[in-house]
Amino acid sequence: MPVYIDQLGHVLELPATPRSIVSLVPSITELLYTLQLDEQVTGITKFCIHPQSWFRQKTRIGGTKNINTSAIQQLQPDLIIANKEENVKAQVEQLAKQFPVFTTDVNNLDDALEMIEQIGAITGTTANANHLVSQIRCAFSNLQVTNHKPRTGYLIWRNPYMTIGKDTFIHDMLTRCGFTNIFGNTTRYPAVDTWQLAHCDLLLLSSEPYPFKQKHLDELQAQLPNTRIMLVDGEMFSWYGSRLLHAPAYFNSLLKSID
């Protein structure tokens, strides 16, 4: 029986290649689509908006933080894919008592590429996964890093404002672009005050999880007249599945507009 070890060190035994997969992670749902697992994926969350065809057609099993276990039980999956950060530990542990659960833990690009290779192996799509990893590596090798290293803040939430620390995937993406995260001495997602943002040369307002808009930019700009503030696509900075293939081109365009 094949044995797999997830990114938390849990050992998972599967008698055969999964034929019914439930994804609890939006960026991994998109990855499963890229790996051409249309028939195998039976359940996704209400936040799994990519691809649109799956969002419309697949069974939704609640949100990433509020899983509908009864909906999952009806699907009887032989594999559930979860994430340490995006899902609630107690809910995942409860599911693991009934179904095989593969838990991912992605905090940087290397973790993401390892995860893609692991998902490929466990779903019988190794060739597709390895090809995707090669493409992503190539795309990131063409990233045009800024030499200015602007002191940068990245906001993910409002009321209170929340940013990202050094142990997050978004921090790794910022660093690869050449940005200096001014909150790089913190961990996870600390709340910050407006006066702290005044130390930024550049302030990026993410489209998710809080959907920052132009009105929020204008509000902050009035308080931070010496800081350049921009709206950015949060999926490009935080989705660690196959969207990574397109992230470097987006970053290059962003960097070009800044320089």
- Furthest-apart CA atoms within the chain: distance in Å: 62
Q: What is the pLDDT of residue 135?
A: 98
In this model, does residue 259 exceed pLDDT 90? Answer: no
- DSSP H helical ranges for 14-157: 26-34, 52-57, 69-75, 89-96, 109-122, 126-141
Spatial contact of 58 and 21, defined as CB atoms under 8 Å apart = no
pLDDT > 80? residue 1 = no
Fold of 3-139: Rossmann fold (3.40.50)
Measured distance CA(221)–CA(117) in Å, rounded? 43
Which residue from 114, 109, 87, 85 is spatially nearest to 23, judged by alpha carbons?
Answer: 87
CATH number of 151-258: 3.40.50.1980
pLDDT for the residue 63:
96
Q: How far apart are CA 151 and CA 181, in angstroms?
A: 6
**For 228, what's the count of Cα atoms within 13 Å in the CB-facing half-sphere?**
10
pLDDT the model gives residue 148: 83
* One fold for 3-139 and 151-258: yes
pLDDT digits (tens, 9 = 90+) for 83-126: 999 999 999 999 999 999 999 999 999 999 999 999 999 999 99
* pLDDT tens for each residue of 162-212: 999 999 999 999 999 999 999 999 999 999 999 999 999 999 999 999 999
The sheet that has 180-181: what strands, in order across it?
180-181, 151-155, 202-206, 228-232
Average pLDDT, the chain: 97
List the chain domain ranges.
3-139, 151-258
How high is the pLDDT of residue 160? 97
Each residue's pLDDT tens digit, 2-60 = 899 999 999 999 999 999 999 999 999 999 999 999 999 999 999 999 999 999 999 99
Neighbours of 49 (CB within 10 A): 14
